[in-house]
Amino acid sequence: MTPPFRTLLLVILAPVIGLGACSKVEHLVRGGPRLPTAALDSNIGAQIGDPTTCVLLADPKTGKVLYRYGELFNCVRGLPACDRPGMLTGQEALRFATLPDGRKTSCNTTPDGSRMVGWAEGVTQGTRKPYLYSAVMEGQRALPGREMAARLAEALPDAGL
């Protein structure tokens, strides 16, 4: 092959290779065959789904994230912590899941109160195996943390966890 064809081939194949790499990472993040991802997606979507929602499930022993509902952006963007100073991400909030009663809090994210953030972290109840969870939602229609926790308590066992 001459150099221009090689360059053209790389330009054409790079996105395809990149998509394959992304899908493998997404597959691992979402738990692979160990978690019922389709049922989780459906149940969480029906109970608390919103374009600004992030729900993470993690292994309680290692803290490794096994499943993610929502776009990565919603899990890694900093939002007001509400019950402490500073900002927090859904990923960072997993550390509060092991508190005795978990964490359920909410607050406004805009001075006029038109948007809010809800946080819910804890250990799954009623599932075959315990998992740590972190849920965050921000926006005009964001659910309060207590409401998200209550809805997840129903959605996760119903998904077959």
Chain segment 42-87, per-residue pLDDT in tens: 999 999 988 889 999 999 999 999 999 999 999 999 999 999 999 9
Which residue ranges make up each domain of the chain?
1-30, 33-158
**Beta-strand runs (E) in the chain:** 53-58, 65-69, 79-80, 87-88, 103-108, 116-123, 132-139
For 137-157, what is the mean pLDDT? Answer: 94
Write down the pLDDT at residue 34: 76
Closest CA to 125 of 66, 32, 60: 60
- Look up the CATH architecture of domain 33-158: 2-Layer Sandwich (3.30)
3-state DSSP call for residue 11?
Answer: helix
For 109-130, what is the mean pLDDT? Answer: 94
For 136-146, what is the mean pLDDT? Answer: 95
Alpha helices in 30-128 (DSSP H): 37-48, 72-76, 90-93
For 19-39, what is the mean pLDDT? Answer: 52
- pTM to 2 decimals? 0.78
The span from the CA of 104 to the CA of 101, in Å, is 9
Asked if the model's pLDDT at residue 144 lies above 80, the reply is yes
The span from the CA of 148 to the CA of 37, in Å, is 19
